[in-house]
Structure 1
Amino acid sequence: MNKTIIAAATTCLLTLSSGAMAAVSSTVNLASDYTFNGVSQTGNEPALQASLDYAADSGFYAGTWASNVDFGTGEDTNIEWDVYAGQYFQLNDKFGLDTGIAYYTYHGDSASDTYNYPEAYAKFGYSTSMGDSEVNFWYSWDYFGLDVSHYIAMVAHTVEVAPGHNIKVSFDRSTSADENKWAWDGKDAYNHYRVEYMTSWQGFDFNLAAENTDMDIDSADARVVFSVSRTFSF
């Protein structure tokens, strides 16, 4: 359930507007926890994640991403493996639009594939001298294979506090269209807050984040998540 497509991570973040990029790349990420909008997908334990991505100068991209998971519900699902494809549009020197579709699959248990689900997304970016702002939306019409619509809306802003050092603040809300089919802590929606510090050194990318939700469950309480990743171009 990687919402930054790689989160993340867990992420297919395109930077075509700033110059040409390699046609094929791979990112390996080690995180102290794999959180989906503030909810741990690994039982509050570490995660090893990897992606393989193709990006064209036209803005088209496609890729795949995988991570270990642990839902802790007495079943053996242990792998999430996603595929995605989309198109990035640089609308002008300040505005960008990223649209696409992802498909999330789960493995390790005989019932894991019943969790599989599709999701469409649209991400709007705005860059100024004061930083980069985002307004992002995700929608699934069969969330977690339960035939229920699910929505996520996010706003975020990133500022460079020093050369090579960035702070990102984000807020998102996840909503189920039918809480009888899917509920978050007994409710149809919850809020998630996150502040993260990002930097790079010697080819490695580092992320240190503090996050919390308004749910009262162990897998979604206040936490600090650290990750280190490296991207390889082919």
Structure 2
Amino acid sequence: MKKLNSLFTSTHIFTAALVTALYSSATFADWSANISAVSDYTFNGLSQTQNDPALQGGVDKAFDNGTYVGTWASNVDFGGDTNLEWDAYIGRYQMLTEAVSIDYGIAYYSYHGGDDSSDGNYPEIYTKFGYASDYGNTELNLWYTWDYFGTGSRHAVAMIAHTFELAPNHNLRASFDVSNSLDSDTWVWRDENTSFYHYRLAYQTSYKGLDFEIAAENTNLDIDTADERIVFGVSKTFSF
């Protein structure tokens, strides 16, 4: 699993009782692990690594009833001592019809490296709708938190995306998302803006068990960690 946008962007610890309930809900489960290297770790178009590369990886367990639980980590750089993001999530994926799917759950983002890094920890709930057709796969994805980066601010993200199959094993994914601060007294973006938008166009393919993506993206924020950029990533998934 992943945090936000695509193959190479993160999803973003739950109580032992909740995880135990998940494990007892199904007899059989599948494990998987993933590792990826990216030229820049971007989150809604904002670099989390000061425009530098990142090494990322995660472990997931999926159950027969569509429930999954997992964890994911990446190096980060916000200009201070924080150098690690470590997330956990629990959710459920199910088909509503032959063409429409829903994926919903809760994630917890945690930060490490400095004495005050954990001040930025926060939870987030998400719902993702998918529609498969002869013209590709369409997504409507929604995220919401009531404690954005530990500030007590409510924050919401809405994304629409579509993946086109150019040819077998060659896909093009276009996405557009808007981030909205719902408490301007505690969180605003540059120049007192309460929202910003981000758009991304990515080419995706695989070769000899490796997944590759090259993406062009930009935002309407006028800062060097959120301007136009090309991001490259390579990923490997293991099943066991």
Are the aligned partners of 1:22 and 1:233 in contact in 2 as well (CA < 8 Å)?
no
Are the aligned partners of 1:3 and 1:37 in contact in 2 as well (CA < 8 Å)?
no
- Structure 2: runs of 5 or more not aligned: 13-27
Are the aligned partners of 2:4 and 2:44 in contact in 1 as well (CA < 8 Å)?
no
Q: Name the CA distance, whole Å, in 2 between partners of 1:196 and 1:169.
A: 6
Equivalent in 128, 140, 156 of residue 151 of structure 1: 156
Match of 2:101 in 1: 96
Structure 1 residues 88-126: Cα deviation after superposition (integer angstroms, max 9, x where no partner): 111111000000000000000000000000000000000
TM-score (norm 2): 0.90
Equivalent in 193, 197, 214 of residue 199 of structure 2: 193
Deviation at residue 70 of structure 1 after TM alignment: 0.2
1:52 aligns with 2:54: no
Runs of at least 4 residues off by over 3 Å: 5-9
- RMSD of aligned C-alpha atoms? 1.6
Percent of aligned pairs with the same residue? 54
**Distance of aligned partners of 1:9 and 1:208 in 2 relative to their CA distance in 1, 3 Å threshold:** same
Deviation at residue 9 of structure 1 after TM alignment: 3.9
1:99 is aligned with what amino acid?
Answer: Y
1:105 aligns with 2:113: no
Structure 1 residues 20-54: Cα deviation after superposition (integer angstroms, max 9, x where no partner): x9700100000000000100000000000000000
Structure 1 residues 135-183: Cα deviation after superposition (integer angstroms, max 9, x where no partner): 0000000110011100000000001001100000000000001222111
Structure 1 residues 202-224: Cα deviation after superposition (integer angstroms, max 9, x where no partner): 00000000000000000000000
- Structure 1: runs of 5 or more not aligned: 13-20
1:160 aligns with 2:165: yes
Q: Name the CA distance, whole Å, in 1 between partners of 2:5 and 2:213.
A: 16
Match of 2:4 in 1: 4
Are the aligned partners of 2:8 and 2:38 in contact in 1 as well (CA < 8 Å)?
no
TM-score (norm 1): 0.92
Mapping of residues 57-206 of structure 1, within 5 Å: 57-72=64-79, 75-185=80-190, 186-206=192-212
